[in-house]
Structure 1
Amino acid sequence: MNIDVLISNLTNPVLLFFVLGIIATLVKSDLKIPESSSKFISLYLLFAIGFKGGQELSHSEFNAEILYSILFAIFLSVIVPIYTFYMLKSKVGIPNAGAIAAAYGSVSAVTFVTSVSFLENQGITFGGHMVAIMAIMESPAIIVGVILIMVNDSTQKEKKSIGSIIKHSFTSGSVLMLVGSLVIGLIADATQARGIEPFTTDIFKGFLSLFLLEMGMVTASRIKGFKKYGLFLFFFGILVPLFNGMIVAYLSGFITESAGNRFLFAILAAGASYIAVPATMKLAEPRADAGIYIPMALGITFPFNITIGMPIYFAIVQLF
């Protein structure tokens, strides 16, 4: 691994604001981002990354690489929940195993956004279709996770319809904003779209910094309640994403030659959802303990990926 890349990532102002958020909670500071502002920032980030991706996609010709990328993404979002579920069900029970499996098979939009910033710092380009890939990977993992619970839990009397689960996964606010912005960016007139570039580009990293400041505070507050579940889930939250990211960083080389696309594939495989999955699982499987899978995704996997994981996946892409 290139130590310069690691140092550059660890001293990135965006990441340092995440650390500041952790420190603020540990010292019991009254620093707080208002809830309404937090929701706006979240929507802004999804809007900006979706719209920019749609614009990039509008300039791309649909070809075999994009088709293979979509199929590869769907495969990942199905296989990861399956193997993680069977690793977990004897440790945390079927409902929790299904929720965790769905989270780790799905993607983290904020990790993806941070990775885009990482690529920009390295001067590496990527295809606009990767934003569509991120959106595509959200729902299959959630659906697979719920199906695994239904199939394995003979005591569950109330079965949620697959149709309602699919509908909720696509109409979830975060997914709808991301997909909607992508479609608008795809069909928008290029000349007209340039008029909002200062909003989607120039202030992007500033809003990302504020968002990660809050994520740092949330991480530090929720990780305390996670300690009672032991070291198994802690190591799971690091080693499983690391394995997924490293394997996909290599395998993606058979799909695309683009270093940027391969790196983003690795990030998508390594990330864990803490937005779309909790919202969906609250409806589909209320028995699953959000006090387990949210701290795992947000307090362990997310900080690992944006500090140590990204340079590792990037190094593998460069090596192979």
Structure 2
Amino acid sequence: MDFLFDFLTNFLGQLQSPTLGFLIGGIVVACLGSRLAIPDPAYKFIVFMLLMKVGLTGGQGIRESNLAQILLPALFAVLIGILIVFIGRYTLCKLPNVKTEDGIATAGLFGAVSGSTLAAALTLLETQSISYEPWAAALYPFMDIPALVTAIVLASIHTRKQRDTAGEYPSSRQEYLSKQRGTAVKRVKIWPIIKESLQGSALSALLLGLVLGLLTKPESVYQSFYEPLFRGLLSVLMLVMGMEAAARIKELRQVGQWYALYGFVAPLLHGFIAFGFGMIAHYATNFSLGGVVILAVIAASSSDISGPPTLRAGIPSANPSAYIGASTAVGTPVAIALGIPLFIGLARALGGG
């Protein structure tokens, strides 16, 4: 009963919070046909500011922490990112009328991480005075990059198998060897995928902040500039995401109801899996329950910044309406409105707080 009460309290608090309030506001405004728009340069600047702040927080935390405590949560983040893609590959992709490439791309996007959802979780944790390791935000790339790489590799393997079974059989040993050499040339190269992810705007900003927080002493600019602006900028970002979610609902309707179902169930399932791994780290290395919540939230989130362009380039045959629609229209609201209060309530119940 205490857990249920705590969850409902957090859920109602989320409904009243600027984070979800502005998200819902953006959806309502877009559905009413408003012409309200946030200029793209302003949107990119807001995302940069938010992720720089998260990166600076993580860098300062790593500088003051024991690196041995980071290893196990980082390893779990990698495993979770890969596992999420395989779960989608053998569930969503098996459903009727779901194209395999679309399903894999959707799983990859849900395995990758949303910087805005992470920022919303950090804000709520701080509002409720729940402690967590400052470096926990640095788990972002450990989950994000492996998920995107895994999705692109699985899609490439599937595409190659389709070509091989299309009836193109070699008529001689020489032709067979020629085809083998051609296949070898077309093998998936992992480094370009990693490079593309690292060069994406979201990860670049986060990693830049991480390095600056680790190697410099940015406390003065952090306290006077990044910290005061954080929540206000986050509210504007939620407004933009709400309008984007409403715009994607029509596209999601075109690709079928299975993506909507996946977008609702997957964030909670992925979050619970990550919460379980986080509790192992909690008992093994004293990883804080706030850190466990962060691990669960980044697993529940789906990438809204770096993931879509990476998947467009890596899986060009996939339909963006499927994976972006499932993520933005369903996955992100579920992760923020249900996931964050659910995992905070569960952590409080387990911690006796």
Give the counterpart of 1:155 among 152, 159, 162: 162
Larger radius of gyration: 2
Task: Say whether residues 1:304 and 2:308 are aligned partners.
Answer: no
Q: Which residue number corresponds to residue 291 of structure 1?
A: 321
Distance 1:219 1:167 in 2: 29
C-alpha separation in 2, matches of 1:288 and 1:107: 19
- Which residue of the partner structure matches residue 222 of structure 1? 248
Normalised by the size of structure 1, how large is the TM-score? 0.94
In the other structure, the counterpart of 2:230 is: 204
Q: Hey, which bits of structure 1, 4+ residues long, moved more than 4 A? A: 156-160
1:196 Cα offset (Å): 3.7
Alignment of 1:125-136 (within 5 A): 125-136=131-142
Deviation at 1:174, TM superposition (A): 1.4
Q: Given that residues 105 and 141 in structure 1 are in contact (C-alpha distance below 8 angstroms), is that contact kept between their aligned partners in structure 2?
A: yes
The answer as to 2:79 corresponding to 1:75 is yes
Task: Using the TM superposition, name which of 308-317 and 294-303 deviates more.
Answer: 308-317
- For residue 55 of structure 1, what is the amino acid of its counterpart? Q
The verdict on how the C-alpha distance between 1:290 and 1:159 changes in structure 2, with shifts beyond 3 A counting, is farther
Q: Which moved more, 1:275-284 or 1:85-94?
A: 85-94
**TM-score, normalised to structure 2's length?**
0.86
Contact 1:106 1:142 in 2 (8 A): yes
Which residue identity is paired with 2:58? G
Structure 1, unaligned stretches of length 5 or more? none
The 5-angstrom pairing of residues 177-196 of structure 1 reads 177-189=205-217, 192-196=218-222
* SS of equivalent residue, structure 2 residue 318: coil
**Does the Cα contact within 8 Å between 1:250 and 1:317 map onto a contact in 2?**
no
Pick one of 141, 144, 147 that aligns with 2:147. 141
Q: How many residues align?
A: 317
Is the partner of 1:306 in helix, strand or coil?
helix
The secondary structure found in structure 1 opposite 2:276 is helix
Which of 85, 98, 110 is the matching residue for 1:104? Answer: 110
* Residues 250 and 316 in structure 1, CA contact (< 8 A), matched pair in contact too: no
CA offset digits 1:256-315 (Å, max 9, x no partner): 241210111110111111222211112111111111111111110111111122121122
CA-to-aligned-CA distance 1:91-122 (integer Å, 9 cap, x gap): 42221122112111111111110000110111
Deviation, structure 1 residue 74: 0.8
Relative to structure 1, the CA distance from residue 89 to residue 159 in structure 2 (aligned partners, 3 Å threshold; closer, same or farther) is farther
Q: Which residue of 1 aligns with 2:51?
A: 46
Amino acid across the alignment from 1:268: I
Q: Is the 8 A contact 1:103 1:293 kept in 2?
A: yes
Partner of 2:179: none
Quote the Cα distance in structure 2 between the aligned partners of 1:169 and 1:223: 27
What is aligned with 1:56?
61
8 Å contact from structure 1 (residues 53, 132) kept in 2: yes
* Aligned pair partner of 1:274 in 292, 299, 304: 304
Q: 1:160–1:284: 8 Å Cα contact kept in structure 2?
A: no
Contact 1:249–1:316 under 8 Å retained in 2? no
Q: Deviations over 1:123-163 (max 9, x none)?
A: 11211221211122111111111111122222358655222
CA deviation string 1:231-254 (max 9, x = no partner): 221111111211121232233111
CA apart distance, 1:222: 1.2
Partners of 2:229 and 2:273 in 1: CA distance: 34
Instruction: Write the distance in 1 (CA, Å) between the matches of 2:224 and 2:243.
Output: 29
Q: Which residue of 2 is the match for residue 21 of structure 1?
A: 26
Is the Cα–Cα contact under 8 Å of residues 271 and 305 in structure 1 kept in the other structure? Answer: yes
Structure 2 residue ranges without an equivalent (≥5)? 164-182
Q: Distance in 2 between matches of 1:28 and 1:175?
A: 33
SS of the equivalent of 1:155 reads: helix
| Fraction of identical pairs, as percent | 28
Deviation by residue 1:175-213 (Cα, 9 ceiling, x = unmatched)? 111111111111112xx5323422110111000001111
> Given that residues 153 and 188 in structure 2 are in contact (C-alpha distance below 8 angstroms), is that contact kept between their aligned partners in structure 1?
no
Query: How well do the aligned residues superpose, as a CA RMSD in angstroms?
Result: 1.6
